Amino acid sequence: MRTGKEYLESLADGRCVYVDGERVADVATHPAFQGVAGSIGALFDRAGENDMTFTSPETGQAANRAFMIPRNVEDLSIRRQAISTWAHQSRGFLGRSPDHVAGFLAGFASGASLFKRDGRDFSENVTRFYHRLLTEDLFVSYVIIPPQVDRSTTASGWDGELIQVGVAEEKSDGFIVRGSQMLGTGSSVSDYVFVSCIKPLTPADERYALSFVLPMSTPGLKLYCRRPYAVGQPSRYDYPLSTQFDESDALAVFEDVFVPWENVFAYRDVDMVRSQFFQTAAHVLGNTQSQIRLVEKMKFLIGIARKIAAVNGIDQMPPVHEKLGDLASLASIVEGMVLASEATATIDQFGVARPNPRFLYGSMGLQSEIYPRVLHLIRELVGGGVIQLPSSYRELTNPETRPDMDRYIQSPGHSSVERIKLFKLAWDVIGSEFAGRHHQYEMFYAGAPFVAKGYAYRNYGYDEALESVESFLASYDLPDSGP
User: How many residues bind ligand FAD, per CB under 6 A?
Assistant: 21
Cβ proximity to ligand FAD: between 186 and 357 the closer is 186
Among 79, 91, 96, 424, contact with ligand FAD (rule: CB under 6 A):
96
Selected from 185, 312, 356, 416, the binder of ligand FAD by CB under 6 A is 185
Q: Taking CB under 6 A as the criterion, which residues in 128-157 touch ligand FAD?
A: 142-145, 148, 151
Q: Is 456 helix (H, G, I), strand (E, B) or coil?
A: helix
- Contact code string over 200-239 relative to ligand FAD, x by CB under 6 A: ----------------------------------------
Determine the Cα–Cα distance for residues 67 and 90; give it in Å rounded to an integer: 18
Contact call for residue 183 and ligand FAD (CB under 6 A): yes
Is 196 an interacting residue with respect to ligand FAD (CB under 6 A)?
A: no
Intra-chain end-to-end CA distance of the chain, in Å: 85
Size of the chain in residues: 483
> Should residue 184 be labelled a site residue for ligand FAD when binding is judged by CB under 6 A?
yes
By beta-carbon proximity to ligand FAD, the closer residue of 67 and 142 is: 142
Cβ-contact 439, 372 below 8 angstroms = yes
Asked if 375 is part of the footprint of ligand FAD (rule: CB under 6 A), the reply reads no
What is the secondary structure of 219-253 as a DSSP string?
TTEEEEEPPPSSTT-S-TTT-TTHHHH----EEEE
Nearest distance from C-beta of residue 286 to ligand FAD, angstroms: 11
Between 365 and 385, whose beta carbon lies closer to ligand FAD? 365
Interface with ligand FAD, residue 448, by CB under 6 A: yes
* Beta-carbon-side half-sphere exposure of residue 259 (alpha carbons within 13 Å): 31
Beta strands in 12-101 (DSSP E): 16-19, 22-23, 53-55, 62-64
Identified binder of ligand FAD from the candidate list 99, 205, 249, 428, rule CB under 6 A:
249
Comparison of 229 and 445: residue with beta carbon closer to ligand FAD: 445
Ramachandran angles phi, psi of 243, nearest 5°:
-80, -20
* Displacement of CA 332 from its chain's centroid (Å): 20
3-state secondary structure of 403: helix
Binding map of ligand FAD across residues 426-445, x = CB under 6 A, - = no contact: -----------x--xx--xx
Closer of 348 and 433 to ligand FAD (Cβ): 433
Give CA–CA dist 86/137, Å, rounded. 14
Nearest approach, Cβ of residue 246 and ligand FAD (Å): 11
Residue nearer to ligand FAD on the CB measure, 56 or 185? 185
Q: Are 58 and 75 in contact (CB under 8 A)?
A: no
Let me know the angle formed at the C-alpha of 339 by 338 and 345, rounded to the nearest 5 degrees: 90
φ, ψ for residue 150, nearest 5 deg: -160, 105
